[in-house]
Structure 1
Amino acid sequence: MKVFCLTLAGALVAGPLSLPSALADTVVKIGVAGPLTGSLAQSGKDDERGVQLAINELNAQKVTIAGQPVTFQMISQNDQADPKIGVTVAQQFVDLGVSAVIGHYNSGVTIPAAKIYNDAHIPMITATASNPQLTQLGYTYVYRLGANDNTMGSRMAVFAAKTLHAKRVAVVDDRTAYGTGVADVFVDAAKKAGLEIVDREYTTDKATDFKAILTNIKPAKPDVIFYGGYYTQAGYLGRQMKTLQIDAALLGGDGICAPDVAKLADGALEGKMYCAQGGAPLKSIAGGETFREKFKKTFDADVDVYAPACYTATLTVVKAMQQANSTDPQKFAPLLKTSTFPSMLGPVKFDQTGEWVNPPVTVYKLTGSDLVPLATQ
């Protein structure tokens, strides 16, 4: 008995650092990566906030895994929408010992970064990188919580033919993995739908002047112009379409589906822009408006596009940890492909390639400064 008392007294004298480690929370690091500067910073910040909101809620719930209290920590990195920086960021996450990564935003960044995560056996869930190639690489630890370009590009081609009754289509893409991928799918589906591709032009994801491209397109008199790229360039493209008096609707995938496009276009795309986005509108799903209110209260900002999906991806990772009774990625990651997880977005189930099974897709119309949902399929 004297030996026990002396040992306990020694531990107390030594201070709290000498108390048994079981009394301390296990810290689980969740990485989130995307463009936090540059033209896509608004989207990158929106994704980051979705992850942070999920982590705030998890920590408030005082989650335990394998009987051990767990504290979740978000580590955010700016990949600047640059593939080389994205690979560096991925290696930093590995070195920091993250248990999972939510991101990246751009397909061209996500695809090379995915190899780093897969080799390190760290699950990565992207809500936004939609190039189909990502899940065709055979990576065990890569998942997509969204619709890919095959779904969105083909959906917009059918929409152009059957809803807008377009006949002639011009296509522009920014030569990124995302932009080219979604444009190629659109072209193939458009041809099958009976549309005539009257011109195909190319630009970059840094361009602001589209007058030369539009001058080439104008004589072909397209009913619609499909843009494979992101919302910043789509805004400038729409503004210059109006300047050159090109009376065509602008179509695109989820890359242009952001409220900021209205401001960048300076009203030129009012009622004339349509885009596809993975997922259902917040207003139409249970808990959607509650999420919007919590988001606004926490960040003093409105939900942009993919914060709900990044929020859901984070919660899904933790549900897999709880089901596996482990924070070890090699133990919980396999469950992501064998289990179905309830979520605000509906059932989350990934197939063996890492694709979300039956992802909903919504077509939106730009009305004023809002993206108004037309239909979800």
Structure 2
Amino acid sequence: MLIRLALSPLPLLMALLIAAAPVRADSLHVGLVIPQEGQFKPLGDHVREAFEIWETGHPEIFADLVEGDDGCSEEAGTDAAAAMIEAGVNVVVGFLCTESLAAALPLLSAEDIPVMTLTVRADIIAEEAGRLGWNFFRLAPRAGSEAEIAADAILRLWADKSFALIEDGAISGRELVEAIRVILENRGLKPNFVDNYRPGQATQPSLLRRLKAAGVSRVFVGGERSDMAVIAMEADRQGVPLEFMGGDQLNAPQGELPLPDGTIAVLAAGATPGPEAEAARAAFEERGLIAEGLRIPAYAAAEILGAIATRMDYSQTGLGEALRSTTFSTALGPVTFDQNGERREPGFVLAIWRDGAFHRLSLEDMARIAGESR
């Protein structure tokens, strides 16, 4: 169902005051295409909450927020795009699923309506956008950059140590580990051991025997957090001293077994906000909300569109061109978009597990870990 959350008309006195103020660009009509039900509804709620909270602190910037339903299917994407066009929005944020995003992009782009996704990471979306001229922008991290960040971390921290790359056999884990291996070998560093394991096991004795026989001391795990915790427990049980690194799958609820302190993870920047997110965190806390899930990325999207809405020239240059030609200060840090709508800054950061939580890896942490490796 399409819901329009329009601002009330301004009283005459306020209108006169605004007329006397410096002229700025027209208020934006913003569409939010988010899941209204099902398992992804909490993420849709995060997006709505973030925009509403940003609006509370910055009234009259957006003309209205128009909601559409992202049912995560091609049909839902087509229906949502038609609803956004009919509502006359200037820009759409959302489309959390690849299927609905891919179906909506051609329709919205034909009407010169930019679309900004907060979650879809598939590299091919931006490639198709560039080839077909879609008005696409990605605030989510690009999938391929996860392997790039991980490989760079291994080169900087483990280059002089024996290390293994292991994966759980799933497509995501296998592709991540293979991409890391290729990057490392292209840069002159080969892993000492490459293997896979059976996920979802309560113990991993045979895997640990293989790791021990390979003589490795560092292990990158391309798999889920629960599996890494089991592997770490088995290493402790067998007396095999190992240190671990993993990908964004480690950003998951803690299970029965904890991760070992010192575990390094390549996480989406929104999962471990830096100091630039303090204002956003404070705004959420005032509403009794935790800055988790999509709240920080969605707040950053509101900041970007708010900055565009105050530019006097965006109506002349076009919203898409304004997005591509501006550097934005956001809760995710600086954001700039290239001609294909990809964010130029890395969407992933390195984090370390310490005292029951992931924290951004500091320069001091990097120096200490690199020093321990020598």
Q: Report the TM-score when normalising by structure 1.
A: 0.69
Alignment of 1:354 with 2:341, yes or no, is: yes
Q: Name structure 2 gaps, 5 residues minimum.
A: 1-7, 12-26, 367-374
2:46–2:294 contact (8 Å) kept in structure 1: no
Question: 1:36-47 to 2 correspondence within 5 Å?
Answer: 37=39, 45=42
Q: How much does 1:317 deviate?
A: 3.3
Provide the identity percentage.
14
Q: Name structure 1 gaps, 5 residues minimum.
A: 1-20, 80-84
> Who is 1:337 aligned against?
324
Aligned counterparts of 2:312 and 2:260: Cα–Cα separation in 1: 49
**Residues 211/195 of structure 1: CA separation in 2 closer, same or farther (3 Å cut):** farther
**Residues 350/331 of structure 1: CA separation in 2 closer, same or farther (3 Å cut):** same
Which residue of 175, 183, 191 corresponds with 2:177?
183
Q: How much does 1:170 deviate?
A: 2.5
Q: Deviations over 1:231-278 (max 9, x none)?
A: xx32244225414646533322333235x2xx22522x1214211234
1:154–1:190 contact (8 Å) kept in structure 2: no
Alignment of 1:309 with 2:302, yes or no, is: no
> Who is 1:55 aligned against?
52
Aligned counterparts of 2:307 and 2:261: Cα–Cα separation in 1: 41
> Who is 2:267 aligned against?
277
> Who is 1:144 aligned against?
138
RMSD of aligned Cα (Å): 4.0
- In structure 2, give the amino acid aligned to 1:32: I
> Who is 2:19 aligned against?
none
Q: Secondary structure at the match of 1:58?
A: helix
- In structure 2, give the amino acid aligned to 1:158: D
- In structure 1, give the amino acid aligned to 2:177: A
Which residue of 205, 208, 226 corresponds with 2:220?
226
2:299–2:331 contact (8 Å) kept in structure 1: no
**Residues 220/364 of structure 1: CA separation in 2 closer, same or farther (3 Å cut):** same
> Who is 2:32 aligned against?
30
2:222–2:247 contact (8 Å) kept in structure 1: yes
Alignment of 1:171 with 2:166, yes or no, is: yes
**Residues 354/211 of structure 1: CA separation in 2 closer, same or farther (3 Å cut):** farther
Aligned counterparts of 1:217 and 1:131: Cα–Cα separation in 2: 33
Q: Deviations over 1:196-251 (max 9, x none)?
A: 25234377xxx634757x7356413343443445xxx3224422541464653332
- In structure 1, give the amino acid aligned to 2:264: Y
Aligned counterparts of 1:325 and 1:95: Cα–Cα separation in 2: 28
> Who is 1:292 aligned against?
281
- In structure 2, give the amino acid aligned to 1:56: I
Aligned counterparts of 2:362 and 2:28: Cα–Cα separation in 1: 44
Q: Report the TM-score when normalising by structure 2.
A: 0.69
- In structure 1, give the amino acid aligned to 2:296: P
Alignment of 1:126 with 2:117, yes or no, is: yes
- In structure 2, give the amino acid aligned to 1:53: A
Number of residue equivalences: 321
Q: How much does 1:168 deviate?
A: 2.5
Q: How much does 1:100 deviate?
A: 0.5
Q: Deviations over 1:324-376 (max 9, x none)?
A: 8889xx94234322333333333322001211123364311111321022137
- In structure 1, give the amino acid aligned to 2:338: D
**Residues 347/248 of structure 1: CA separation in 2 closer, same or farther (3 Å cut):** same
> Who is 2:24 aligned against?
none
> Who is 2:371 aligned against?
none
> Who is 2:233 aligned against?
242
Aligned counterparts of 1:312 and 1:256: Cα–Cα separation in 2: 23
Alignment of 1:195 with 2:190, yes or no, is: yes
Question: 1:94-109 to 2 correspondence within 5 Å?
Answer: 94-97=81-84, 99-104=91-96, 109=97
**Residues 347/372 of structure 1: CA separation in 2 closer, same or farther (3 Å cut):** closer
